Amino acid sequence: MKLHCEVEVVSRHLPTLGLRNRGKGARAVVSLCQPRPPARGEQAGPHSACLLVSTMKDKRGTRYELKENIEQFFTKFVDEGKATVRLKEPPVDICLSKANSGSLKGFLSAMRLAHRGCDINTSLSTLTPVKTSEFEKFKTKMVITCKKEYPLGKNFPYSLEHLQTSYCGLIRVDMRMLCLKNLVKLDLSHNHIKKLPATIGDLIQLQELDLSDNHLESFSVAFCQSTLQKSLRRLDLSKNKIKALPVQFCQLQELTDLKIDDNDLIQLPFKIGQLKNLRFLSAARNKLPVLPSEFKNLSLEYLDLFGNTFEQPKALPVIKLQVPLSLLELSARTILFNRIPYAFHIIPFHLCQDLDTAKTCVCGRFCLKSFIQGTATMNLHSVAHTVVLVDNMGGTEAPITSYFCSLVCYINSSDMFK
């Protein structure tokens, strides 16, 4: 019985000696082995298996006894392919990672049986050196650029960290890809994908996602609210048919690079200013008439808005003030100003939507349906170090929407009257 994974063997004596482990695992083949075959005439008893950890540098491996020798199992992250086995003698922690979660669970179950001295209902390996070919199964990168190369009859290697499947004619995301828990970069560009599965957030390690040149018409809210909020850094949605990104898109707080060129965008997420880590933004050749008010809160290194249909700022504002303010307006402003938590299970769904789409006044306060809306011109160099010209006339200015929660805020805002 073998498990392909990364292994780090940590001695618990190191801290007492003032030493530290290197903190990085090595690719290994971990085997449950039978110590020796029964001698001639000897009755075969229960398989008291031992553990053999073999690496490329040590193909013979290091042997560890298991019977009544396991102090504790740490399996909190077993669904992520991680676990730790603490042995009594020698006093070491065997840290397993980047394993197939299903195989890891089965392997740990067999180790528990070996610890108790029970018979293991599976074939045990022999104490022989591991072949080099065993380590070739640790494939971390796969590039597929045509239909003929696409694997239909077998799974993707579970150890993949970088997967590219371009020009394969995919109309949906292959669900087998969502089992690749170690995936860091996924390139699905140049296909015909129309919709993302809700479970794409299961790729908890994913940092780069390329969906360019597909047929996406919308972007999943479930994607924005998944664990990718903490991992995704680069996203390419260029050359699709997306008209708008959901409000929840701005929950992808770790994004540093965003490409949404050549879509049908008529607006950017109005809370885009919440993307504090965003440094590269390219939204060229869309249908943006104006930028959202929070756009001015961005701090970019590179910005490309070329080829959008920006409108000239309107001379007169849109006035939607309520006098006096409604109870709904007052309640919404109080909840948002005091940062009172809200969710669908606490208040009705439509009220959550109203709160999610509340406007931010230039004074920093919030407004729901009572506001003054104006348009001003902003020099894009105020938010980005490098700016691609907005048009063929050499311009670097674009219209931006501003909201005012009261007439006082509107009068005090000098930008509207410059």
**What integer pLDDT is reported at residue 288 of this predicted model?**
95
- Together in a domain, 363 and 334: yes
Asked if the structure places residue 327 within a domain, the reply is yes
Tell whether 249 and 143 lie within a shared domain.
yes
Which amino acid appears at position 28 of this protein?
A: A
Asked if the structure places residue 176 within a domain, the reply is yes
Last residue of a domain, one of 214, 243, 259: 259
Residues 162 and 203 occupy one common structural domain: yes
Domain co-membership, 92 together with 191:
no
Q: Where are the beta strands (DSSP E) in 34-178?
A: 50-55, 62-65, 70-74, 83-87, 92-97, 141-144, 162-165
Binning pLDDT at 50, 70 and 90, where does residue 301 land?
very high
Same domain assignment for residues 255 and 150: yes
Q: What does each C-alpha distance from 311 to 115, 287, 398, 399 come to in angstroms? A: 73, 10, 8, 7
User: Where is the domain boundary, 67, 93, 126?
Assistant: 126
SS3 assignment, position 178: helix
Are residues 399 and 358 part of one domain? yes
90/174 same-domain check = no
Tokens 């299961």 belong to which residue?
A: 202
Same domain, 66 and 113: yes
What residue numbers bound the domain in which 74 lies? 1-16+52-126
Q: Which of 221, 238, 259 is the last residue of a domain?
A: 259
Predicted TM-score (pTM) of the model is: 0.74
Q: Does residue 144 belong to any structural domain of this protein?
A: yes
Residues 6+ apart with CB under 8 A from 224: 246, 248, 249, 251, 252
92-97/185-187 β-pairing: unpaired
Q: Please give the backbone phi and psi of residue 266, each rounded to the nearest 5 degrees, phi first.
A: -105, -5
In this structure, is residue 284 part of a structural domain?
A: no
pLDDT digit string (tens) for 396-409?
999 999 999 999 99
pLDDT tens-place string over residues 220-260:
888 998 999 999 999 999 999 999 999 899 999 999 999 99
CA 48 to chain centre: 42
- Asked if the structure places residue 390 within a domain, the reply is no
The CATH number of the domain holding residue 245 is 3.80.10.10
The total domain count for the chain is 3
